[in-house]
Structures are given as structure tokens and as C-alpha cells.
Amino acid sequence: MVIKSIFLCLIFIIVYALLKKIYKKLNNINMIIFYSLGPFILFLLNIIDLNNLFLMGCLLIAWIQTTPALKSDIPSLIIYKTIFEKKSCSEKSLKSTIASLNLFDDKIDELILDNLIFEKNGTYNLTLKGRFIAKLFIFYRRLLKLRKGAG
């Protein structure tokens, strides 16, 4: 049962990667929809049972949460990598390394591409999908009782 779920998850990840190469406009929202509906369709077609559906869901949720860390630069990981490569590093050097990466502009571009925000008259606004995701994150943080800057 476990092997079947892991195997099917790997197939889903490979298929999505191939689709992403063919259709360059696929974004994070498409990924979430693909990984959510795929196992459910397999369940409806009696290819997997409820236990496999649950396990595949858990594995794919873990993959979805890991994917952004694999494809973009995260300040914490940049700090670890810089210190690891240089053996030690001053605060000034770390700040200049992070500042030189244009992380802000890259993230804004990604959010626009994913249709989560849009720019109008020099200001950024949330789209309907962006509002939904923002509310979801706010709810999740309240559920975990995380204060600002924690987590």
C-alpha cells in the first residue's frame, strides 16, 4: 500500500514536471490543483483506496510545501550557504549578498505571474485568488498561534 502511494506520487511529480516544460505558463496554483485533483480522480476510478488517497494527499502536500524552497532563493538558505562556503562571514557581507539577489523583485514577478497580485497606478493589489490565499495563511497562523515574524 505505501509503495503504491509513493510510486504514484513520483509519477505525479514527473508528469507535472514534464507538463511544466511543455506549457511554460503553468504556475503554483496549477500545481496545487493538479496535485489535489489527481489523487481524487484515481480514488473515484477505484484505482486507489481511501488509505492510499490519504497517504498520497499527505505526500503531495509535503511536496507542495517543499517546492518553493527548491525553486527560489530563500534568505535563510542563502545565509546558511554563504557561511558554509566561506566558513565564516560578517553581518555586512551577508547583508550585501542578500541585497544583491533582487529577491523582492523576483517574488513580486512570481506573484504577478501566478495571478495573485496585480499592479495598478503604482500600487500592488490582491486578486481574488490572492485574497483567498492570504485569508488561508492568516487563518493558519492564528490556528498555530504564531505571532508576527514567527514561524
Separation CA 61–CA 8 (nearest Å): 14
Residues 1-56 have pLDDT tens digits of 678 778 887 887 788 778 877 877 776 677 777 777 888 888 888 888 888 888 88
Residues 80-107 have pLDDT tens digits of 777 888 888 888 888 887 777 777 777 8
Neighbours of 89 (CB within 10 A): 14
Residue 78 pLDDT exceeds 80: no
What mean pLDDT do residues 116-140 have? 88
133 with 116: CB under 8 angstroms? yes
- What pLDDT sits at residue 16? 79
